[in-house]
Amino acid sequence: MRMLRGMCLWLLAAMVLAPVARAEDGYRLWLRYDALSAQRAGAVAQRAASITGPDRPSAVVASAISELQRGLGGMLAREIPAGTQISAGTVILANPSVQARLGIDLPLSDLGAEGYLLRSMTLDGKPVTVVAANGDAGLLYGAFALLEHIQRGLPIDEMNMRSAPKLQLRVLDHWDNLDGSVERGYAGQSIWNWWTLPEHVDPRLVDYARANASIGINGAVLNNVNASALSLTPRYIAKAAAIADTLRPWGMKVYLSARFSAPIELGGLDTADPLDPEVAAWWKAKADEIYASIPDFGGFLVKANSEGQPGPQDYHRSHAEGANMLAAAVAPHGGIVMWRAFVYSAEDATDRAKQAYAEFKPLDGTFADNVLLQVKNGPIDFQPREPFHPLFGAMPETPLMMEFQITKEYLGQATHLVYLGPLWEEVLEADTRRHGEGATVAKVIEGRYGAHKLTGMAGVANIGDDRDWTGSTFNQANWFAFGRMAWNPQSSARNIAVEWAELTFGPRDDVTRTVLDMMMTSREAVVNYMTPLGLAHQMATGHHYGPGPWVSDLGRPEWNPAYYNRADKDGIGFDRTASGSNAIAQYAPPVAKEFGDLAAVPDRDLLWFHHLAWDYRMRSGETLWQSLLDHYQTGVEQVQAMERQWQSLKGDIDPRRFAKTADFLRIQEKEAKWWRDASVLYWESVSGKRAPEGYPEPAHDLDYYKALRFPNAPGH
Amino acid sequence: MRMLRGMCLWLLAAMVLAPVARAEDGYRLWLRYDALSAQRAGAVAQRAASITGPDRPSAVVASAISELQRGLGGMLAREIPAGTQISAGTVILANPSVQARLGIDLPLSDLGAEGYLLRSMTLDGKPVTVVAANGDAGLLYGAFALLEHIQRGLPIDEMNMRSAPKLQLRVLDHWDNLDGSVERGYAGQSIWNWWTLPEHVDPRLVDYARANASIGINGAVLNNVNASALSLTPRYIAKAAAIADTLRPWGMKVYLSARFSAPIELGGLDTADPLDPEVAAWWKAKADEIYASIPDFGGFLVKANSEGQPGPQDYHRSHAEGANMLAAAVAPHGGIVMWRAFVYSAEDATDRAKQAYAEFKPLDGTFADNVLLQVKNGPIDFQPREPFHPLFGAMPETPLMMEFQITKEYLGQATHLVYLGPLWEEVLEADTRRHGEGATVAKVIEGRYGAHKLTGMAGVANIGDDRDWTGSTFNQANWFAFGRMAWNPQSSARNIAVEWAELTFGPRDDVTRTVLDMMMTSREAVVNYMTPLGLAHQMATGHHYGPGPWVSDLGRPEWNPAYYNRADKDGIGFDRTASGSNAIAQYAPPVAKEFGDLAAVPDRDLLWFHHLAWDYRMRSGETLWQSLLDHYQTGVEQVQAMERQWQSLKGDIDPRRFAKTADFLRIQEKEAKWWRDASVLYWESVSGKRAPEGYPEPAHDLDYYKALRFPNAPGH
């Protein structure tokens, strides 16, 4: 249509070509293995240019070898031989028998089955790099650690690193349906090609496994916790087995979400009562059937008696009775059961935040040894900010498995740039005060305070079949950070961000500094423009996209944002102190004291625990009303600052990833303003207060925002 | 888990690496531009190593330049300069003014606006290649033709080719919903990233446009014919405009499917009566609104009064009255209306095959000048085989636009290898006998027999966001073939297959020969194992996946496979002669005579037109029963032969595309047997006949096949 002037277009055409040809489309994630500079390649080749290892490598060790060949091959731009020879620059994958053969004696005793040690050595006068571990998985993780180290441009001459996971189960929960849709998925459809499995396994699944192995994730729950019984039919078990065969060489096990009523739906029984012998027998036979196809099947994840899902309470049985029945079915095979503590029953509670604790705390000590209770980080539901869940520390006889949500259901979904590391770190660092001071949530889930032996962390995956896996470049950081936090719950979110940025954009200090600053700001930004000062669950109905603080007409009180904000002409916030729901009593006394005390409670949790007058005077001297307004506007400004920062990287980032992030930041700015304007207008309408002169004018009136509908919002 | 023995694994790991690193994942389609051999590159560089063209290239010419740079750059492995200089080896994009400037006088008068001419010339003693055309689109298409020529290894020294499209509208119909799902889509979700448009345009859309331009497709209907009115709201018009901006530089226009009741749903009117002035005014305003955002908007596609869609008949108005009202709204902007003749009304007809003709034939001559009637190739619905639609040739005063289905709703869907070229060729070659002998369907849609000026062909797209676009390598051939047939409806399916195979797998005679043989067999194979001898619509309910000849309990007679097969103990087939529904009377008398005469009707259409006894003696001497059995088994054997042929190419095809096709052929073989076994068992059950000794035993009994359910079948 439009004629462009003169020769400039000729130049344009020539310039456009190059980036298209080598488009960085995000598929490679943090495993990019681009060729190093000649100087760096020379240095690396001194220590890592060939590979040797066990005489008879297992499939997992073969994966380590292939990854080293791929990674070193890419970075050194040459073929990497693998064989029995040791020469200068050989990487030695050294399990105990290799060490014995070579006469190396490295301290492996505290590394467990999955830990590793990287050590620069000289063998027979030859400089080599040893990746040592007790087990195959350790060799695999060590190989990835070595590749990461090289990608990040760190010195390779005097390596001496060791690392071992602090949690045993490091699991992604895929809320993937069998029709290919992903509940709360914002990155396309499920990566499981259910329809063409088991005959055809999408080669992408190998790359999925590689990515997970590179960050220590060792399990995947394949299907949605709102489970279809179909996933337990022979047809789908065969499909799951094909996935298991693909993930196994990368150290990963598969798990399935189990629908509690499957004995009725598939087995034709009249009941799913966990104490009914026929029901137990049905599950036992089903477990046997699964293990016949998947010998290392991990076990079941169960969402029971929550949001309409069937469960043991349908038969007046406890969660423990339900869990233990399933646990007995998988126990002979070494399987486990992950039982979710996210309950949201058919009865209205006084305070939804209290329900999980009320139901599960009394069951402490009654679960079978191979059951973990999977507890969300906060007592409500994956909000931009919640105080830690009061169950942490409160069930010493029960292994509590952390459940984080990697997909950003409540944090901007597809497009907002939000690095979740700080959110998770904040929870993991929280001191439960249940076992003296310093009994952080991290230490609780590490199992330091109980005799039970299982530990774990689950993350609700943000992965789909979008080319870049997670819908955006920065969403990849959340997958990465989850793996790191699951490996070591005491990891630093900031350090993880640095690692990720260097791997993703190349180790360039100026880029890393800017990206790091954006990431570390981003979570506070989303809290500010969505739900500042302890507000929660203000999102629109169903899809949770955009603001809906006015919604108060849904069937049950706790479905409504108004239930959570409790805003009226006198004030705002949820009184969870003794004068209100007394949810604070579920915390250890010193914690409850802090949360209940207006002089001590952190501002960030203020309205989570307290209902306060609009003119309540904050410790800062501002009124609550002023502070709320400030937070919304600060959130918008933080997004605008991220946009400027990203634009400052133009030319430093490849054009394709640059453009997509720039586009998404523009959407985020628009939506941050939408959140600010709609929220402030609503608070004005209930409080009778007005934002002061000079506060940004909303683009529309409140009725406009209330009338917005998004019938095709993704993930719902 | 499994220990592999000894050093073989080391070798394996080394071997696996290489293909993974340069995986051929199908994304590049037939535009691969791999580096040529040194010898060939040298020869090509003599004629095509730099580019020049108009002084002020339009956006479309800029696309031609960028594609030549990409293509020649890839094949010659060097940067291709573009500028004003002419030297040895320059490709000259020569519109009339460039020709005048250079003193070239090539015959362009019969090329129209989109045709092109490729000519090797010597200018000032320099060997050059001239791409000449009257218009920008012609230059673009010529550039692609040149690149194709080079990719196929054809001589480049003495080029003298000319080509011009025989149809004006060459359009893909995307049955894409606004939630990202694709009706009858088997290649993932919609490529339109509706949610993040218009702020973010997926770069994939540029590659989509390139692929279409390379085969002459110049339009896309963005949304499903079962349309949501939402697509006409400002929010979605802005999204469509962003797509239009992306496709425009590649010579493509966008169209929208219009929901006839939108004036009610969006406009708040009480009626959508096309003769109501308010309704007409609403559509006029809506058209103006669309054209304000999309100045070259193509127009509307409408499915009205069919399968529950609203339409003019709801107000006792004719299809022509409905179409003409919409046509008036877009006419001032140069837009058109494509009105579908696929009707399937709420009333039960005696024979569904007769309905479109009965409704539309009387309307000939009553449509506005900017309306095309879009007619499916056959009178039912995209079956593996149908006789041509009787409307072709029967409405001389109306432009009839062919509607083919590229996506394989009824032909094996996601996985079966079926090349549709022969199906389309068979229809296009059919002689309607409406305007003397030789009045083929192709000539009818070319507009040779009427005064109207619009011509076109629509293909229901098989494109999704799967990495290889169409779900399989061979499905890409159907997209390609559709473009070729739309450019020239008299194209040879075999020649198109050769072109595609050479572009897709490289120009190697042995590979091409084998691939060609598979492709040219494949359509007859699917007819044989699904619906031989003129049977149709035997697919299971709703999703149309797998056999369901027994289904007879659906709400309306013509929803049931049993309606179409009419099998009972006495015989099988649909009597459409004078003794039956007399559908043959809708054809020209010589055609009706042939179809009605058992001595003349082709075997392939036998049971489409005749109900015959199981023991009816075929012209071959076999009984009908024996012939049916033979056809099913032949279909299975043809698939098995394709599997063997494909396996013979192992090593000649890159591992990734090889493996996926091999996997899918395995599925196809399994499903061909399923079709054979389930169909034969059912015919046995109604006829009382038995397959002879030695005929393959079915793996299960009939009840097993009847009980199969596929709740997560894609595309539905």
Which residues neighbour B355 within 8 Å (Cβ) at sequence distance 6 or greater? B343, B344, B345, B349
SS3 B437: coil
Sign of CA dihedral B274, B280, B284, B286: negative
- The pLDDT value given to residue B347: 64
Percentage of chain B modeled with pLDDT above 90? 93
SS3 A523: helix
Contact A200 B713 (CB under 8 A): no
Percentage of chain A modeled with pLDDT above 90? 93
CATH of the domain at B138: 3.30.379.10
User: CA of B244: which chain A residue's CA is closest?
Assistant: A1
Which residues neighbour B334 within 8 Å (Cβ) at sequence distance 6 or greater? none
Q: How far is B546 from chain A (nearest CA, A)?
A: 13
* Residue A323, domain extent: 169-495
Q: Which DSSP helix (H) or strand (E) runs through B457?
A: strand B456-460
Which residues neighbour A54 within 8 Å (Cβ) at sequence distance 6 or greater? A61, A93, A95, A97, A98
Arithmetic mean of pLDDT over chain A: 95
Closest CA to A213 of A170, A256, A254: A170
Chain A residues with beta carbon closer than 8 angstroms to that of B180? 712, 714
- Across the interface, of B13, B69, B199, the residue whose CB is closest to A14 is B69
- The pLDDT value given to residue B478: 98
Residue B339 φ/ψ, nearest 5 degrees:
-105, 125
Closest CA to B176 of B463, B525, B587: B463
| CB-CB contact of A144 with A127 (8 Å) | no
- Across the interface, of A12, A82, A200, the residue whose CB is closest to B660 is A200
Task: Characterize A294-304 residue by residue with b for buried, 16 or more Cβ atoms within 10 angstroms of its Cβ, and e for exposed.
Answer: beebbbbbbbb
Q: How far is B61 from chain A (nearest CA, A)?
A: 10
Sign of CA dihedral A261, A263, A266, A269: negative
Q: How far is B101 from chain A (nearest CA, A)?
A: 16
CB-defined contacts A:B, below 8 A: 168
Cα separation, A234 vs A237, in Å, equals 5
B34, B270, B307, B663: the catalytic one is B307
Which residues neighbour B370 within 8 Å (Cβ) at sequence distance 6 or greater? B299, B327, B330, B331, B335, B336, B337, B454
Percentage of chain A modeled with pLDDT above 70? 96
A519 in a structural domain: no
Mutation site, B266, B465, B639, B712, interface A, largest A CB count within 10 A? B712
Contact A414 B195 (CB under 8 A): yes
User: CA of A23: which chain B residue's CA is closest?
Assistant: B203
A598 in a structural domain: no
- The pLDDT value given to residue A716: 85
Q: For A269-280, what is the mean pLDDT? A: 98
B27 in a structural domain: no
| CB-CB contact of B680 with A146 (8 Å) | no
Among A480, A495, A510, which residue terminates a domain?
A495
Mutation site, B12, B17, B224, interface A, largest A CB count within 10 A? B17
- The pLDDT value given to residue A698: 97
Among A495, A511, A540, which residue terminates a domain?
A495
Within this chain, do residues A239 and A350 fall inside the same structural domain, yes or no? yes
Within this chain, do residues A248 and A156 fall inside the same structural domain, yes or no? no
Contact A69 B17 (CB under 8 A): yes
A599 in a structural domain: no
- Across the interface, of B5, B7, B17, the residue whose CB is closest to A70 is B17
Q: pLDDT tens for residues A6-31?
A: 333 444 344 333 333 457 999 999 99
Q: How far is B181 from chain A (nearest CA, A)?
A: 10
Cα separation, B273 vs B326, in Å, equals 11
Closest CA to A470 of A520, A425, A504: A504
* C-beta neighbour count of B3 within 10 angstroms: 13
A509 in a structural domain: no
Phi/psi region, residue B487 (left: phi>0; alpha: psi -120 to 50; beta: rest), is: alpha
Q: pLDDT tens for residues A145-197?
A: 999 999 999 999 999 999 999 999 999 999 999 999 999 999 999 999 999 99
- The pLDDT value given to residue B19: 31
- The pLDDT value given to residue A555: 86
Within this chain, do residues B545 and B439 fall inside the same structural domain, yes or no? no
Within this chain, do residues B185 and B76 fall inside the same structural domain, yes or no? no
| CB-CB contact of B252 with A1 (8 Å) | no
User: CA of B50: which chain A residue's CA is closest?
Assistant: A14
Within this chain, do residues B84 and B175 fall inside the same structural domain, yes or no? no
Q: pLDDT tens for residues A396-455?
A: 999 999 999 999 999 999 999 999 999 999 999 999 999 999 999 999 999 999 888 899
Cα separation, A272 vs A646, in Å, equals 54
Q: How far is A8 from chain B (nearest CA, A)?
A: 9
| CB-CB contact of A231 with A221 (8 Å) | no
Q: pLDDT tens for residues B433-472?
A: 999 999 999 999 999 998 888 999 999 999 999 999 999 9
Q: How far is B425 from chain A (nearest CA, A)?
A: 30
In angstroms and rounded to an integer, the radius of gyration of the C-alpha atoms of chain A is 26
Within this chain, do residues B560 and B637 fall inside the same structural domain, yes or no? yes
Do the strands A253-257 and A299-302 form a parallel or antiparallel pair, or are they unpaired? parallel
- Distances in Å between the Cα of B679 and the Cα atoms of B415, B551, B570, B607, B691 are 20, 12, 17, 15, 12
Do the strands B116-123 and B160-163 form a parallel or antiparallel pair, or are they unpaired? antiparallel
Within this chain, do residues B70 and B186 fall inside the same structural domain, yes or no? no
Within this chain, do residues B486 and B404 fall inside the same structural domain, yes or no? yes
Cα separation, A168 vs A372, in Å, equals 12
Cα separation, B392 vs B430, in Å, equals 10
Q: For A491-507, what is the mean pLDDT? A: 98
Q: pLDDT tens for residues A343-398?
A: 876 565 679 999 999 999 999 999 999 999 999 999 999 999 999 999 999 999 99
B506 in a structural domain: no
Within this chain, do residues A303 and A429 fall inside the same structural domain, yes or no? yes
- The pLDDT value given to residue B307: 87
Contact A714 B14 (CB under 8 A): no
DSSP state of A650: B
Within this chain, do residues B560 and B648 fall inside the same structural domain, yes or no? yes
Cα separation, A135 vs A109, in Å, equals 11
Place of tokens 């339900």: A322
Residue B468 annotated to the active site: no
Contact B4 A666 (CB under 8 A): no
**DSSP readout, B114-182?**
T-EEEEEEEETTEEEEEEE-SSHHHHHHHHHHHHHHHHTT---TT-EEEE--S-SEEEEE--B-TTS-B
- Across the interface, of B79, B188, B295, the residue whose CB is closest to A1 is B295
- Distances in Å between the Cα of B643 and the Cα atoms of A163, B257, B518, B634 are 49, 40, 9, 14
SS3 A645: helix
Give the 3-state DSSP-derived string for B362-409, with helices as H, strands as E and coil as C: HHCCCCCCCEEEEEECCCCCCCCCCCCCCCCCCCCCCCEEEEEECCCC
| CB-CB contact of A160 with A119 (8 Å) | yes
Contact B82 A10 (CB under 8 A): yes
Low-confidence stretches of chain B (pLDDT beneath 50): 1-21
DSSP H helices in A77-119: 96-102
Within this chain, do residues A149 and A251 fall inside the same structural domain, yes or no? no
| CB-CB contact of B119 with B159 (8 Å) | yes
Closest CA to B444 of B436, B432, B460: B432
Contact A230 B5 (CB under 8 A): no
Mutation site, B90, B197, B200, B236, interface A, largest A CB count within 10 A? B200
Q: For A40-68, what is the mean pLDDT? A: 97
Chain B residues with beta carbon closer than 8 angstroms to that of A5? 56
Cα separation, A511 vs A154, in Å, equals 16
Cα separation, B85 vs A7, in Å, equals 12
Which residues neighbour A80 within 8 Å (Cβ) at sequence distance 6 or greater? A49, A50, A51, A68, A69, A72, A73
A307, A510, A615, A701: the catalytic one is A307
Contact B712 A194 (CB under 8 A): yes
User: CA of B6: which chain A residue's CA is closest?
Assistant: A56
Among B495, B513, B537, which residue terminates a domain?
B495
* Count of structural domains within chain A: 3
Which residues neighbour B70 within 8 Å (Cβ) at sequence distance 6 or greater? A17, A20, A21, B33
A567 in a structural domain: yes
Mutation site, A10, A16, A293, A669, interface B, largest B CB count within 10 A? A10
CATH of the domain at A615: 3.90.1330.10
Residue A437 annotated to the active site: no
Q: How far is B14 from chain A (nearest CA, A)?
A: 7
| CB-CB contact of A60 with A250 (8 Å) | yes
Chain A residues with beta carbon closer than 8 angstroms to that of B59? 1-4
- Across the interface, of A20, A65, A178, the residue whose CB is closest to B13 is A65
Contact B196 A664 (CB under 8 A): yes
DSSP state of B696: P
- The pLDDT value given to residue B349: 64
B136, B176, B409, B605: the catalytic one is B409
- The pLDDT value given to residue B4: 37
Mutation site, A66, A470, A654, interface B, largest B CB count within 10 A? A66
CATH of the domain at A441: 3.20.20.80
B474 in a structural domain: yes
What does pTM read for this prediction?
0.96
Residue A643 annotated to the active site: no
B273, B381, B605, B669: the catalytic one is B381
Q: How far is A645 from chain B (nearest CA, A)?
A: 19
Chain B residues with beta carbon closer than 8 angstroms to that of A714? 180, 195
- The pLDDT value given to residue A307: 87
How far out from the chain centre does Cα B529 lie?
A: 22
Query: What ipTM score was computed for the predicted complex, to two decimals?
Result: 0.95
- The pLDDT value given to residue A290: 98
Within this chain, do residues B393 and B537 fall inside the same structural domain, yes or no? no
